Amino acid sequence: MSASSLNVEELKAAHQGKDRFEMPDFYGIDDLLSEEHILIRNSVRDWVKRELSPVIENYAQEAAFPHHLIKGLAEIGAFGPQLPVEYGCGGLDYTAYGLIMQEIERGDSGIRSTASVQGSLVMYPIFKFGTEEQKRKFLPKLASGEMMGCFGLTEPDHGSNPAGMTTHFVEDGDDVILNGAKMWISNAPFADVAVVWAKNEEGKIKGIIVERGMEGFTTPETHNKWSLRASATGELVFDNVRVPKSNIFPEVSGLKGPLTCLNSARYGISWGALGAAMDCYDTALCYSKQRVQFGRPIAGFQLQQKKLAEMVTEITKAQLLVWRLGNLMNEGKATPAQISMAKRNNVEIALNIAREARQMLGGMGITGEFPIMRHMANLESVVTYEGTHDIHLLILGHEVTGENAFF
Ligand code: TGC
Ligand code: FAD
């Protein structure tokens, strides 16, 4: 059957249930990666094609989290790949971490969310700020997916401005008593542990590990989301929760604790969003070669070529940005503002590419037969969480001018 003879039903059938993704690499960026990087990237891509792609649309439509994927995510090394082997983690560099996030988000941003929260926002703070006892108790189980975690920073009245948080604890013997609430927390509904940021009696922000089952700790699920539907989001509610002092991170105090973790997660998102952009581009390119209007494939029309040429240009620039940022991360030189630039740019280009790709598929673009609308809706969360698009602009503005425009 020639491509030009495909009708709508055949076009759907040609794509349905198949993940025939081919990554754009216009500048030969693979040449900048090591053999190990490519091996890791390709094995995660194979897993996504085999395990994630065939089921993700249904889970998103049903607004359900695919719990059965947790084991596979752990096996491909998605949980804490950048942390040391001695705690059961991957011992890989930040480039490998980024590539893993790229491939998972190529499948779905919500599943990448689960992985980045687990690795960067739960395991990383335990590794970076935790006691040896905390590391030994939690890290191996989190790496293997036996235990899942979430990260509680945002509150109903304090999103972009976490310094204003009101969740707090008071000391009581060997324990502390925690009160307050966190909102918009990824993985909350099923997490076994929560890394929670709360103020002590002096008003200093501290990190504390809250465990499911502690009396007064509940995690109601947030429903009716149009975005990240395959990710479980919820609240963390603390009603006089008694937590042993041994669950507090002893050394770190202040907002730099959670913000240090966000550096790692935002870095992962800058690669992840690129994955979503690649999937939208590849889908639109493939579709445009098959879809015939006015007697020829729409890929032959200048207006469609403009969209594709601009998409691949933005993807290539974004690839170079994260490749360089990965090297800076590996050398311990990446600054928060550099990470903000990559997160902000790559999510923006991904959203723009998703919107353009959706148009290229015409009416078919709004259906679940293709991944584009799901990526687009997901990216509306990605552009908001881990610092909104505008907050990252203000971080960059602060860096280049020295003037703080937050308040
Ligand atoms: P500011 O006075 O600027 O800083 C307070 C202290 O923090 C230090 N700091 C950082 N440290 C490490 N990394 C960074 N990126 C840092 N940025 C700042 C700073 O040096 C200072 O340290 P010290 O020792 O002097 O006390 O703080 P501010 O109150 O003015 O706020 C700054 C601002 C607005 C940039 C920050 O609060 C911010 O980034 N807001 C956005 C909030 C955010 O990103 N929330 C994310 C919640 S988690 C999430 O969304 C997970 S989604 C998960 C998923 O599903 O993938
Ligand atoms: P607000 O802070 O109320 O911002 C509203 C608007 O005002 C934004 O456009 C913002 O850019 C703008 N604005 C705010 N301040 C300024 C300013 N100074 N100058 C100019 N404009 C400004 N949080 C967690 O802690 N853990 C999680 O796991 C987590 N997961 C999430 C999952 C999802 C699906 C979503 C949607 C959010 C999640 N979040 C999580 C919360 C997320 O980090 C916040 O939504 C985000 O930081 C923005 O906070 P807000 O929603 O309260 O918006």
> Consecutive 10-residue runs of the chain (407 residues): their mean pLDDT?
55 69 97 98 98 97 98 98 98 98 98 98 98 98 98 98 98 98 98 98 98 98 98 98 98 96 98 98 97 98 98 98 98 98 98 98 96 98 98 98 96
Q: Which two tokens stand for residue 287?
A: 């579709």
Side-chain-side CA neighbours of residue 10 (13 Å): 10
The residue whose CA has the least distance to atom 42 of ligand 2 is: 385
Domain extents in the chain: 13-144, 149-247, 256-401
pTM score, whole prediction: 0.97
Which of 218, 148, 212, 213 lies closest to 182, judged by CA? 218
Q: What distance in angstroms lies between residue 335's CA and the mean position of ligand 2's atoms?
A: 21
Helix, strand, or coil (residue 251): coil
C-alpha span between 265 and 340 (Å, rounded): 11
State the angle between helix axes of 35-47 and 94-107 in degrees (0 to 180), rounded to the nearest 10: 20
Q: Taking the mean position of all CA atoms in its chain, how far away is CA 208?
A: 23
> Which of 113, 160, 166 has most ligand 2 atoms within 8 Å of CB, for mutation?
160
Q: What distance in angstroms lies between residue 256's CA and the mean position of ligand 1's atoms?
A: 6
Ligand with the closest atom to the CA of 116? 1
Ligand 2 touching residue 184 (CB < 6 A): yes
The CATH superfamily holding the domain 13-144 is Acyl-CoA dehydrogenase/oxidase, N-terminal domain (1.10.540.10)
Annotated active-site residue 9? The verdict is no
Distances, alpha carbon 59 to alpha carbons 96, 194, 276, in Å: 28, 24, 17
Quick one: which atom of ligand 2 is closest to the CA of 231? 34
Q: Which two tokens stand for residue 202?
A: 């002096």
C-alpha span between 246 and 340 (Å, rounded): 33
Q: Is the Cβ–Cβ distance between 60 and 367 less than 8 Å?
A: no
C-alpha span between 141 and 87 (Å, rounded): 9
- What share of residues in the chain are helix, strand, coil (percent, to 5)? 55, 15, 30
For position 18, what pLDDT does the model report? 77
**From 51, 314, 356, 386, active-site residue:** 386
Ligand 2 touching residue 152 (CB < 6 A): yes
Which residues are registered as beta bridge partners of 180?
Answer: 238
Q: What distance in angstroms lies between residue 11's CA and the mean position of ligand 2's atoms?
A: 39
DSSP letter at 406 equals -
C-alpha span between 106 and 12 (Å, rounded): 20
Q: Which amino acid is at 122?
A: V
- CATH class, domain 149-247, is mainly beta
Q: Taking the mean position of all CA atoms in its chain, how far away is CA 195?
A: 17
In the CATH scheme, what is the code of domain 256-401? 1.20.140.10
The residue whose CA has the least distance to atom 14 of ligand 2 is: 160
Alpha-carbon Rg for the chain, nearest whole angstrom, is 22
Q: Which amino acid is at 187?
A: N
Distances, alpha carbon 80 to alpha carbons 61, 142, 163, in Å: 29, 8, 27
